Each structure stands twice: as structure tokens, then as C-alpha cells.
Amino acid sequence: LLRYGIPEFKMEKAHLDRRIDQMRGEGTVFVTGADIGGSCGAGADELRSRCDAVVVAIGAGERRELPVPGRSLHGIHQAMDYLTCANRVREGDYAESPVTADGRHVVIVGGGDTGSDCLGTALRQGAVSVLQLDINPEPGPGRSDDEPWPVYPRTYRISHAHEEARGHAGRDPRLFARATLRFEGDAAGRVRALRLTAVEPVGRSPLAGTEDVIPAGLVLLALGFSGPERAGGLREQLALELDERGNFARDAGFAAGGGRAPGVFVAGDAGRGQSLVVWAIAEGRAAAAAVDRYLTGSTCLPAPVAAHDRPMTALGRMRYGL
């Protein structure tokens, strides 16, 4: 994810390379190209037979879809597929990206960080125009009364990509409180336009008389993730269960399925759902302590959180050096 999901202009890969070299020097063995339980790589049963403990930390890669008319038209892609292709060009894996914004009107559906990364990438690829649609209303400049400290407030922010876009087009590239109604295509089956509507701040119901059509030669869906990927045999082979939110079930000690799969643990977004990097760091440390305790009967490793803890406060992040 760090190498292929985040653009170079946002995180230089030299930092990643340095950390990987450090971890390798400390004894970590990296096995790449291994889809455990899938078509390439060892089966999960074989992995369990060779290892005393297995930690499942595959993230939350199940992408949310946009089930509206015209979704099957050519030129509509998931944001992470688009970003991965662009980053593979940067890494020298591809001579050119099979999905490019060059010479196209680009529409990004989704107002989060992934959408911002798509925005910066599309500008660098030579897009004619870029619009980012956010279904949420435009936030105010300050913290609202229902977001008391230390809750992370939803305020109006400008990312580096938004600054670049404003310099390119002279305005904020975002349209707030907008929802997609359908996509329209040409005779060749390629997307050419997106029909949208303004929505109410509460309930997101369409507002009558606000429909509009905008040109779109490339549409990128940046709608977030709904949990760990379901494809492949990892879940079945490790006897992983899903909780009510669609994540891998675990107990407060990170044991998968409440301990019904001895020696199997779940950490990070795979168990928590799409979240922040500070949670990935904290859960990695806590899961390591849980594995140490399982293997040896005790641990001296720090365990900053339990798997069922509430969202970490700013004070908690400072306490654990996050």
C-alpha cells in the first residue's frame, strides 16, 4: 500500500526503502508474490503447520461500489487501481500507465484522502480538467459543538493536491453535497458524462431542480473500503469469521474468532475496519504482545490498546508515542 497506493509526490519511497532495510536487518523475512490461500503462494493450512502463530493484517481492501446506471461503461475505475498503475510507472514496472488522465476530463467520486491522491496524480498526467465530488456538505472553518476535543473535527481543509488544482483552474476542484445519479456513454461504450444532483445535508436526499451534467472521460471511484477482501481462500482456510460490520471477528486479545482458531490473530484494519495509521501502529504493537503471551505465557512488550478499545484520543496517541 505504501509503495503502490500512495503517490511519490506525497511520500517519497526512499523512506519506505530505508525502513524495509532496517526491518530486514533486524531479522524480518519478506516473502513477496505470495497470495496466501489464493492462486499463488502457500495454502493457509501449510502456513499454520510451519508457524506457531499467524497474524492476519491484510487491511481493509474491499472497495465500495457505486451501483448507478452506466457503471459498466469503459473509463470508470476504482481509485486504487488507477493509483497503482500510476505508481508502477514511477517504479519502472510499466513503461506507461494503462489508465491515464492525459487529455481527459476527470471526475473523482469521493472526498477523502484517496480522492486527493487521485487529484494530484491526474494533474501530473495532463488532465484537461479535474472535479472531485463529495456527498458531504462543505464543512465550516472551525470545530462544531457536536465535535468536542479530542474528537477529530471535520473542518474545511486544503490538501497539497487541492492547492495545485486551484493554481491550475483558479478554484477549489471540489463540489460539496453532490451525488451521482448515472453515467452517460458514447456509441463506443465509453463514459462521456456524469449526471449529478445536489443533496440535502441530512439524509442525502436529492434536491429537486438541481440536476446537472458534467463532462467525464475518466471517472475514479474513491468511496472507501468496507472491510477485508473476501476473495481467495484465506478466510475459509484459517476459519476466520466475520463480525456484524464485515470485518474479521476477534476477541479483545486479537485472537481470531474468540480463540476458536488457536494461534491465529487479527490486527489492524482487517479487524477494525478502515481506519487511521495510528491505529495500525498501536494494534501492531498490541497484537505482538498478544502473540508473545500466547507463545510464552507472559510478555514484557507494550500493549497500548485492546482490540475492542474505543477510538484513541489525542492524549492516548501522545502517551504511546503515536
Each residue of 3-20: pLDDT tens digit?
Answer: 999 999 999 999 999 999
Each residue of 83-141: pLDDT tens digit?
Answer: 999 999 999 999 999 999 999 999 999 998 899 999 999 999 999 999 999 999 998 88
Each residue of 218-243: pLDDT tens digit?
Answer: 999 999 998 998 777 888 888 899 99
Is the separation of the CB atoms in 135 and 177 below 8 Å? Answer: yes
pLDDT exceeds 60 at position 318: no
Mean pLDDT of 51-80: 95
Residue 158's closest CA among 170, 166, 149? 166
Instruction: Give the pLDDT of residue 212.
Output: 97
SS3 271: helix
**Residue indicated by cell numbers 470485518:** 247
| pLDDT category of residue 38 using cuts at 50, 70 and 90 | confident
Residues 6+ apart with CB under 8 A from 290: 253, 254, 255, 265, 299, 303
pLDDT exceeds 50 at position 322: no
Beta bridge partners of 250: 256
Q: Is 76-221 a CATH 3.40.50.1390 domain?
A: no
Q: How far apart are CA 298 and CA 310, in angstroms?
A: 25
Each residue of 139-154: pLDDT tens digit?
Answer: 888 888 888 887 778 8
Mean pLDDT of 182-196: 97
Instruction: Give the pLDDT of residue 316.
Output: 45
pTM of the predicted model as reported, rounded to 2 decimal places: 0.86
Structural class in CATH, domain 31-61+227-319: alpha beta
Residues 6+ apart with CB under 8 A from 288: 301
Between 188 and 46, whose confidence is greater? 188
pLDDT exceeds 90 at position 72: yes
Between 187 and 1, whose confidence is greater? 187
Residues 6+ apart with CB under 8 A from 237: 37, 43, 44, 45
Residue 192's closest CA among 211, 212, 219? 219
Q: How far apart are CA 132 and CA 216, in angstroms?
A: 11
CA 308 vs CA 184, 220, 250, 273, 312: distances in Å: 44, 34, 9, 12, 11
pLDDT exceeds 90 at position 258: no
Instruction: Give the pLDDT of residue 215.
Output: 97
pLDDT exceeds 60 at position 313: no
Between 91 and 37, whose confidence is greater? 91
Q: What is the DSSP string of 143-165?
A: --TTS-TTSPP------HHHHHH
Q: How far apart are CA 97 and CA 118, in angstroms?
A: 14
SS3 231: coil
- Which range has the top average pLDDT, 219-223, 278-282, 304-308? 219-223
Instruction: Give the pLDDT of residue 104.
Output: 97
Instruction: Give the pLDDT of residue 308.
Output: 78
Q: How do the domains of the chain map onto residue ranges?
A: 31-61+227-319, 76-221
The number of angstroms, rounded, from the C-alpha of 2 to the middle of its chain's C-alpha atoms is: 11
Instruction: Give the pLDDT of residue 222.
Output: 97
Instruction: Give the pLDDT of residue 320.
Output: 41
| pLDDT category of residue 311 using cuts at 50, 70 and 90 | low
| pLDDT category of residue 40 using cuts at 50, 70 and 90 | low
Q: Give 138's DSSP letter.
A: P
Supply 43's cell numbers. Answer: 495454502
Same fold, 31-61+227-319 and 76-221: yes
Number of H helices, E strands in the chain: 9, 10
